[in-house]
Structure 1
Amino acid sequence: MRSDEEALDTRLGARLAELRARHGWSLGELAERSGVSRSTLSRAERAEVSPTAAQLNRLCQVYGRTMSQLLSEVEAAPAALVRAADQRTWQDPGSGFVRRSVSPPHAGLRGELVEGRLAPGADIAYDRPPVAGLEQHLWVLDGALEVTDADQVHHLDTGDCLRMRVFGPTRFRCAGPVETRYALAVVRP
């Protein structure tokens, strides 16, 4: 499993370097635009570190992509069907967030389905959406989740569903003593 994660980190790092080069930005310019430190960007491009969810979100915003789009760009050719055992997961060990791409990845599609899992006490804050106006439908499958969209706080329990169009900061927090599992349908504007 670790070799798969390392291979994904290597492909992701190469893609991040390619996107930066395509825009003609230095590491310093990208750091200013994204708010991610120059050293972290450099280490991520060389696959020495795996960026956190918040860092990837900032980079996606700069490049006008969702996280799933970026991750799908480092995958093999898209498939129409992805078996559960083959669905890619990505983990942010610092926050206790695990993200599983449920939908077959394809950069050209506007919609995608993601499963998120947050460990008890996990708290993820995004300072901006990867794409302004991103539509999200969040359905809590197990546990309790507190979602903050701009200044509005929503407390969700198992079975609750929240629809939001994201323009500003958001925050996802596991609000209970057990892991929270949710489905997130994301639709680009």
Structure 2
Amino acid sequence: MGNEAVPITDVEARLAARLAALRAERGWSLGELADRSGVSRSTLSRAEHAEISPTASTLNRLCAAYGRTMSQLLSEVEAEPAHLVRAADQAVWTDPASGFTRRSVSPPLAGLRGEVVEGTLAPGADLAYDRPPVPGLEQHLWVLEGELDVTVRDETHALAAGDCLRFRVWGGTRFRCPGERPVRYALLVVAP
């Protein structure tokens, strides 16, 4: 498509991350996006990894595939995300039925692929998810206090305070607090 390797600016780096996130949100492979957009897989990969700056023509084709205007896409990456998320501004959600509390320590934001979540499970709490919101989601789970049993790909891992489990989510997962005290953990989530 005539894209040449040039030094990448911060905005272009955020654009690359947003393009990768848009594809991941839809669960499309590079081949599927290439078929939908008419842009080669190689160019798509290089654009998503900030190895090139996509041309206006390439962005127009991608915008058509994603059903958005170029202005919408660029507005999602123009503003620099806040670097500091104060504790008072972190959203907390509680599911009393399951005994699960979730704090969005560093919530997702356009242009960034990772987020940090703090989870707390009450004693005996048992959460099962039949599938990930995004296949291939990378997770790093660090137990801060208590004990946690985590099942990934039909393998159960017994974790104690200080332990860290790293995995990609392709299917169902299960989180269970086997102890007599709540378990508190940090979860780093990285979009593919």
What TM-score comes out, normalization by structure 1 length?
0.57
Name the counterpart of 1:145: 148
1-structure distance, mates of 2:168, 2:108: 22
User: How many percent of aligned residue pairs carry the same amino acid?
Assistant: 72
Q: Number of aligned pairs? A: 113
Question: What's the CA shift for 1:187?
Answer: 0.4
Name the counterpart of 1:167: 170
Is there any run of 5+ residues in structure 2 with no aligned partner, and where? 1-80
Name the counterpart of 1:8: none
Question: What's the CA shift for 1:92?
Answer: 1.1
Question: What's the CA shift for 1:80?
Answer: 2.7
Kept in 2: contact 1:80–1:104 (CA 8 A) = no
Q: Deviations over 1:7-27 (max 9, x none)?
A: xxxxxxxxxxxxxxxxxxxxx
* Aligned counterpart for 1:93 among listed residues 90, 93, 96: 96
Q: Deviations over 1:81-108 (max 9, x none)?
A: 1111221101111101000001154143
2-structure distance, mates of 1:186, 1:104: 10
1-structure distance, mates of 2:176, 2:88: 27
Q: Which amino acid aligns with 2:152?
A: D
Name the counterpart of 2:185: 182
SS in 1 for 2:106: coil
Following TM superposition, the consecutive aligned residue runs of length 4 or more in structure 1 with deviations greater than 3 angstroms are none
Q: Which amino acid aligns with 2:128?
A: A
1-structure distance, mates of 2:142, 2:167: 12
Name the counterpart of 1:129: 132
SS in 2 for 1:82: coil
* Aligned counterpart for 1:157 among listed residues 160, 163, 180: 160
SS in 2 for 1:102: strand
Kept in 1: contact 2:108–2:114 (CA 8 A) = no
RMSD (Å) for aligned C-alpha atoms: 1.5
Q: Which amino acid aligns with 1:139?
A: W
Larger radius of gyration: 2
